[in-house]
Amino acid sequence: MSGNATPSSTPVKSTGLHIGDAAPGVAKKDPILVAHGIKRQFGGLTAVDVAHVEIPRNAITALIGPNGAGKTTFFNLLTGFDQPNEGDWSFDGKSLKGVPSFKVARMGLIRTFQLTKALGLLTVMDNMKLGNTGQRGEKLLSSLIPALWKKQDAEIEVKAMDLLTRFKLDAKHEDFAASLSGGQRKLLEMARALMTDPTLVMLDEPMAGVNPALTQSLLDHILDLKTQGMTVLFVEHDMHMVRHIADWVIVMAEGKVVAEGAPDEVMKNPAVIDAYLGSHQDVDLGAVTGRITLPETK
């Protein structure tokens, strides 16, 4: 992770990602992830039923949809943490069907979890170091000989410290992860995912519980990932964040992709407003509930 994130209040949006009209399942010019006919049932409930979806390369795609729409389940399916009843999906042209989760991760597709998985009884620094791939010292026999891995470990530590500083966790690097607050754990998990140098990061509600000021700087960091050539797919309920950084938005409801498109277009889509956003998205909540009266609503 290098370079300084230039705080960009008006991020450069990638456009022209798709071919033809923006409709659910529209083809992308350069898709990095393609999923087709993915179905996952839990008993009688069909949690995911995605006919076709493509994630554009080197862009930031938001996956939105109401609670229980199947976003997290879809993440699990794509990353090998769950197996679909049917369907094919591929990453970078390589089929991921039946590939175990750790191999998916090794291919460069890294995900974070909605319910954070900070490794509580390891220090923050150890959490970070675990993210680094290709460590010599992680092999059983070479781990016995520190001379083989000490230098690499020191380099990893520098890299980890750099990321921790960005995520405002540097002061905590010696503490056990269990002692972090909820929001800090989210941050740690995201930073740890970035330690792997992924090609595609899938973040499940990365900003839930993160304070506004830090959200701002992290948004810049995510935008920075794009300039470094990474692809980001994230689930988020905060529409400001989605509007601000997403180049493309995919809307799921009841397991299906119901709309796709550039953020501004999608949010005007009546189906999306009905299923997810609600008709008062731009109005103060107080006005919706009638507790405050606005002088004038446009």
Ligand X SMILES: Nc1ncnc2c1ncn2[C@@H]1O[C@H](COP(=O)(O)OP(=O)(O)OP(=O)(O)O)[C@@H](O)[C@H]1O
Residue 46 interacting entry, from Mg ion, another protein, ligand X, none, C-beta within 5 to 8 Å by type: none
Of 133, 135, 130, 83, nearest in space to 106 by CA: 133
List the x/- string, 114-133, binding to ligand X by CB under 6 A: x-------------------
- Is there binding between residue 289 and ligand X (CB under 6 A)? no
Alpha helices in the chain (DSSP H): 71-78, 101-106, 124-131, 140-143, 150-166, 182-194, 212-227, 239-245, 263-268, 270-272, 285-289
Among 36, 39, 52, 106, binds another protein (CB under 8 A): 106
Q: Looking at beta carbons only, is 32 or 64 nearer to ligand X? A: 64
Q: Looking at beta carbons only, is 156 or 272 nearer to ligand X? A: 272
Q: Looking at beta carbons only, is 52 or 136 nearer to another protein? A: 136
Of the candidate spans 66-74, 122-130, 153-161, 284-292, the one that interacts with ligand X by CB under 6 A turns out to be 66-74
In angstroms, the CA 114 to CA 52 distance is 24
Q: Looking at beta carbons only, is 121 or 213 nearer to another protein? A: 121
Of the candidate spans 51-59, 63-71, 131-139, 235-243, the one that interacts with another protein by CB under 8 A turns out to be 131-139
The sheet that has 109-111: what strands, in order across it? 109-111, 200-204, 231-235, 60-64, 248-253, 256-261
What pairing do the DSSP bridges indicate for beta strands 200-204 and 109-111?
Answer: parallel
Is residue 200 within 8 A of residue 251, CB to CB? The reply is no
In angstroms, the CA 59 to CA 32 distance is 10
Residue 42 interacting entry, from another protein, ligand X, Mg ion, none, C-beta within 5 to 8 Å by type: ligand X
- End-to-end Cα separation, the chain, in angstroms: 45
Distances (CA, A) of 109 to 21, 256, 266, 277: 28, 22, 26, 29
Residues contributing to the site for another protein (CB under 8 A): 79, 81, 100-103, 105-106, 110-113, 117-122, 126-127, 129-131, 133, 135-140, 143-144, 146, 149, 153, 176, 178-179, 189, 192-193, 195-196
Binding stretches for Mg ion (CB under 5 A): 71-72, 114
**For binding to ligand X (CB under 6 A), which residues are involved?**
42, 45, 47, 65, 67-73, 114
